[in-house]
Structure 1
Amino acid sequence: MNTITSGIVRIEQPGKPEVLRYEQTEIEQPGEGEVLIGQKAIGVNFLDVFFRNGTFPMPAYPALIGLEAAGIVEQIGNGVKEFAVGDRVAYYGSNGAYAEKKILHAKEIFKLPDDISFEQAASIMIKGMTAHMLLKQSHELKAGEVVLIHAMTGGVGTLLSEWARSIGATVIGTVGSAAKKDLALKRGFEHVVDLSAENFDERVRQITDDKGIDVFYDSIGVATFQKSLELLKPGGSAVLYGWASGMPKINTGFIEQRKIHFVQAVLNNYPAYQDKSGKALPEIFSLVRNGVFQLEKPLIYPLSNANQAHADLEGRKTTGSIILVPAVGKDV
């Protein structure tokens, strides 16, 4: 049987970004019910960092990482009826996306709408579903509520902030530098707190006239969680969906006393994410079309430089979305 050469990114063991190694490998032809995708844009998410550093251990090593990508069907296996060579497709929630070419079962992919580019798809699928989980399920945000969004210029934070504003909520956001504060202000957000120079709980109390907030969405963790809890109105919602600075200790006594609704949101447990047919995405794509999500051009790294992409993401040097491409300059 003929083999196909593909560039991939592999980790021999969990660790820092430098454990990400780019290499060439041979893969088989697609089998029964499978398709071969030539990948054009590969999403980079903080979830990938957790798989890389061992927070979420892989079943075995060496291991592949990455959970979403978009590209073109290059070959189809026997029994595949719903896809043809040349189809534009995308997928999420299937491990091993850091690859030039990828074989997947046809049930794991879906056709990409003509007006959604490869880079838009790779930028928006997992992050968009995360925002959907947070705003629609973890705490259903309503017009008039006051919401605190940490890391508001990050990949998920950008979408959360824009979507919350479109709903009619008052958005207060935190960022990690003066440059990111300037960026958020240019995007039209009035209440932005620079964690590197300002005391965020004092600033939030000033902004709210000490009346508190209705909900906060926290992906930072130990550095922000307890102070955010103390800013909540009695009966408010605390949503933890990441812990870039470490997993916080949850003060259950304080939560119970204040009747706070605490949610630790896990995307992998979200039914919409578990369904790989793409049925959860029309609302997300519609927000792109309607301009609610102002998708700036993502930061693009060559697939071979995935380690640098991870280092920059963890170092909080990035804003918005990051994608990998097999070679910079290819059409995305």
Structure 2
Amino acid sequence: MRAVQVSKIGGPEVLEVVDVVVPEPRDGETLIRMVYAPVAFNDYTERTDLFRHPGEPEKQTPFFLGTEGIGVIERINGDAHGMAVGQRVAFVLHGARSYAEYTVAPTERLIPLPDDMPDDAAGAALLSGMTAQMLLHQYRPIGSGTRVLVTGAAGVIGRLLASWAASLGAEVFATVTSQEVVDDVKATGAAYVIDISSEDLVEEVKRHTNGKGVDIAFDGVGGDTWRDVFETLGVRGIGVAYGITGGLYPLVDPLTLVDRSRSVASLLFFNFVETRDDLLAVAEDVIGAYRRGAIKPAIRTVLPLEEAPEAHRLLRTRGRGGKILLLAVDS
């Protein structure tokens, strides 16, 4: 079978397709025939060994890549957890090796896909939508009149967040970095779209809230953007850090939280889906939002496995948002 491996730590060019043996599922695992491997930011961090601390050895290569997957069950070894051969499933796992024609995964971590959610829609919205679901439901109630800031709103998760929050009645403030995507983000239902390449985020939020600030801010960008995000928080506002597409977060002095009783929180996906029941509950909520039209899948492009380097180049370039999908089957 074909699979994409990281030949050495480096840029997109280190991704190469190799022929390997189809893996065998061990007890408690399922063999999956892959359809799509959605390209995730985590794949970029793995390829570049981004989180290696000074003094630590570089990650050993070669290794196979992929975190998210959409596919069909080929064989189950052990407890089927109510699933069957031929069933369509989704998964998100560290070390999933999903950039391949086949992979194996723990059966208990597989999410059955409903007939009314096509494979491409699941690849574009289900797994990223699960992050959006956690953000919208774990920190404070989001409803009519809640002032919500979403950074990176042209991105995959940002777009889902803005759309879902707006459907709940929230007043959404969405940031972008280009006028090219303003109309796309407005279409999510965001009340205000702020182009932070030319507008002052803090001043714009103050202007539209009469100086009150936002109730909660979801920052998937990080880096220098966080300083402004933090200043947009109103009294008892919560800033939730969940991504670093723009760089690592600066340190927060706890004393700066006091004057407005602000809070800082964070999200790591796997902490909220430690049990199968939790995993399926979050997924079902996302599927419900998809059925209601609260979230809409957006696909930037679909590429074959052989073009994984191009997929990773696109992942780090600005443009119209949407999920990048690697097609694991011959088109």
> TM-score higher than 0.5 here?
yes
Change (3 A) 1:124 1:273: farther
Cα distance in 2 for residues equivalent to 1:277 and 1:207: 37
Counterpart in 2 of 1:205?
206
Counterpart in 1 of 2:55?
none
Change (3 A) 1:233 1:44: same
Identity across matched positions, percent: 30
Counterpart in 1 of 2:62?
62
After superposing the two structures, state which structure 1 stretch, 91-100 or 149-158, moved more: 91-100
CA RMSD of aligned residues (A): 2.5
SS at match of 1:138: coil
SS at match of 2:212: coil
Contact 2:299 2:325 in 1 (8 A): no
Cα distance in 2 for residues equivalent to 1:16 and 1:75: 35
Change (3 A) 1:192 1:74: same
Number of residue pairs matched? 324
Contact 1:174 1:192 in 2 (8 A): yes
Cα distance in 1 for residues equivalent to 2:314 and 2:133: 26
Counterpart in 2 of 1:53?
48
Cα distance in 2 for residues equivalent to 1:250 and 1:294: 35
Counterpart in 2 of 1:192?
193
Cα distance in 2 for residues equivalent to 1:249 and 1:207: 27
Counterpart in 2 of 1:111?
112
Superposition map of 1:104-143 within 5 A: 104-143=105-144
Residue 195 of structure 1: CA displacement? 2.1
Contact 1:110 1:278 in 2 (8 A): yes
The answer as to 2:242 corresponding to 1:247 is no
Cα distance in 2 for residues equivalent to 1:306 and 1:181: 28
The answer as to 2:83 corresponding to 1:88 is no
Cα distance in 1 for residues equivalent to 2:81 and 2:296: 36
The answer as to 2:72 corresponding to 1:72 is yes
Instruction: Give unpaired runs (5+ residues) of structure 1.
Output: 1-5
Cα distance in 2 for residues equivalent to 1:285 and 1:224: 31
Residue 283 of structure 1: CA displacement? 0.9
Counterpart in 2 of 1:173?
174
Residue 129 of structure 1: CA displacement? 1.5
Residue 230 of structure 1: CA displacement? 1.3
Cα distance in 1 for residues equivalent to 2:231 and 2:194: 17
Counterpart in 1 of 2:7?
12
Counterpart in 2 of 1:156?
157
Cα distance in 1 for residues equivalent to 2:132 and 2:207: 27
Contact 1:65 1:98 in 2 (8 A): yes
Cα distance in 2 for residues equivalent to 1:83 and 1:274: 13
TM-score for the superposition, normalised by structure 1:
0.88
Cα distance in 2 for residues equivalent to 1:63 and 1:255: 42
Cα distance in 2 for residues equivalent to 1:245 and 1:94: 22
Residue by residue, what CA displacement relative to the aligned partner does 1:135-179 show, whole Å, maximum 9, x if unpaired? 111343232111110011211001100111011110010112111
Cα distance in 1 for residues equivalent to 2:277 and 2:107: 13
Counterpart of 2:4, as a letter, is V
Cα distance in 2 for residues equivalent to 1:272 and 1:28: 25
Cα distance in 2 for residues equivalent to 1:286 and 1:37: 25
Name which of 294, 300, 308 aligns with 1:292: 294
TM-score for the superposition, normalised by structure 2:
0.88
Counterpart in 2 of 1:322?
324
Counterpart in 1 of 2:18?
23
Change (3 A) 1:276 1:100: farther
Contact 1:129 1:273 in 2 (8 A): no
Residue 85 of structure 1: CA displacement? 3.3
Cα distance in 1 for residues equivalent to 2:79 and 2:233: 55
The answer as to 2:261 corresponding to 1:266 is no
SS at match of 2:286: helix
